[in-house]
Amino acid sequence: MSATDRDAELVYAITHRGTPPDPPEWWRGAVFYEVYTHSFRDTMGNGLGDIPGVTEKLDYIRDLGVDGLWLTPFYPSPQQDNGYDVSDFCGVHPPFGTVEDVQTLIDRAHALDLKIMFDFVFGHTSDEHPWFAESASSRDNDKADWYVWADPAPDGGPPNNWISSFGGRAWRWVPARAQYCYRPFLDCQPALNLRNQQVMAEMVGNMRFWLDMGLDGFRLDAIQCLSHDRDLRSNPPARASENPSVGGGPNNPFKQQIHLFDRDVPEAIPLLHQIRRVANDYDPPRVLIGELADVDSSRLAPKYTVDTDRLHAVYDFDLINRADTLRDWTQMLALRSSYLTPGSSLNVFTNHDSPRAVSNLMPKACAAGRDRDAAKLLLFLQCTLMGGAIIFQGEELGLTQPDIPEDEIKDPWAKALWPDFQGRDGVRCPLPWVRGEKNCGFSTSDSPWHRVPEEHHDRSVDQQERDPDSVLAFTRRVLRWRRSLPMLRTAAEHILADTPLKVIAFQREKAGQALVCAANFGLEAAKITLPRSSLTPQFSHGEFTLDADHLTLGPLAVIALS
């Protein structure tokens, strides 16, 4: 497909935006809790979180008020990228438990009225997967074209200029074939050739293995990498203003290209059709939520969710990586309001690949010792902005980003780009359950895979359970309130432009109902002129005064009025 095809897909998506059904599907506008399996709860004493640990804490997740949860990969893996290098899609990495443990988890979640999804890596495998061992052995075996192979350029170098998002060329030389293998992330993560229908059939079968156990759906990893340019054309250089939402620190060489031919290519759309047909085969249909990164996600997301034959919803990193000021945020939110169908996106302020939200997005509040109020503000926004939300484990505790010494770094992305990029270890540290217990109740191991940072001990679950003003208590309160207002799942959104510099305000509207929300990011009071008078507060945190259509919000205060 050509660049014209790419543009046509986007134009079609934008001009065919649908309206959500009433009542909406269960997933539309839902709130999910992300469990980072490695760091949630270790019941086996081996220093790694595990599947029984998630089952043990399902009551805790339910009591937050979320609609469901999703787990990061627990499949057999060499663990060079914490499970995103999969060597068997239909098993469980032994330190995490067994397939029987997974069935118990699914059944228990459903008994608590929680939906449950698993992470699924559709675009690549580990180089220790048996498929790759066979494919890499020669050019004429049964799986010779199950991965993306290419002959060298005339000078012997890689076939094009594509760069791995983890640093270095995106091509690995394999002597047994005298060819290069494409690997968009680590050397050990070769890209699958999903155009090969044998490969698609196998991957679909792997999905069905878990769906047949009663799983409610998948979070699909890195959907922008499902395919690539058929002609392997080189990417053009980027200008600074053109750079999309890319992590890895300010000098990641991946940012020096516009990724026209190795990310978000039109050839991926037919693959989405095939994946969606699998989800639709079940009654009720299973849900597919895609992670969209490395691209201009706010504009491109509609392409992945339009109609009923692609993904159900996406989430992305634009609000994390692309907005340096509140004005940037306001402009981006206005853009998303215009482009996205209500409920087809999920608001994400951090996940296992990004720093803790409060430290990353509100450093001045943290420096002023107001990080707990800042954490509450962000949680309020996640619950009131258009779309659903994914709350990463520990955000409900207001955890801050810890400094991890270089000698404790395990993240391969950080090792490749250190010290320019501090990596993902800080956000992945174990959850603190009980202050005073060994490893804060995460594990009884003498050598957990990561330690619980000292600054997180006082924010443990047991301490916050006792404090009615804790971030945990606020999370439960705001999610209960959100559930009482079904309109928040699918209401349209209008960003209010004429607001003070430190304020984000917006209006949600549906069927004659309207809710005006405002958040003061500043450390001083801010005055706001509301779109109308006679509004009544429905939810608030922090100080405020209301006089007709004039609202004064105290520092880091939030409010919703109707």
Which residues belong to the active site?
221, 291
For residue 496, give the nearest of 541, 446, 531 by alpha carbon. 531
Query: Partners of 116 in the beta sheet?
Result: 69
d(CA 457, CA 431): 9
Question: Beta strand pairing status for 558-561 and 537-541?
Answer: antiparallel
Q: How would you class 176 by CB atoms within 10 Å of its CB: exposed for 0-12, middle for 13-18, buried for 19 or more?
A: exposed
User: What is the residue whose two structure tokens read 């059939």?
Assistant: 201
- Provide the token pair at 125: 């495998």
- Provide the token pair at 137: 């052995």
The per-residue DSSP string of 270-299 comes to: HHHHHHHHHHHTSSSPPEEEEEE-SS-HHH
d(CA 163, CA 257): 8
Q: 297-305 and 3-15 are packed helices; what angle lies between their axes, rounded to 10 degrees?
A: 80
Q: Residue 153 gets which letter from DSSP?
A: P
Q: For residue 524, how many C-alpha atoms fall within 13 Å in the half-sphere facing its CB?
A: 4
d(CA 273, CA 280): 10
Furthest C-alpha separation in the chain: 77
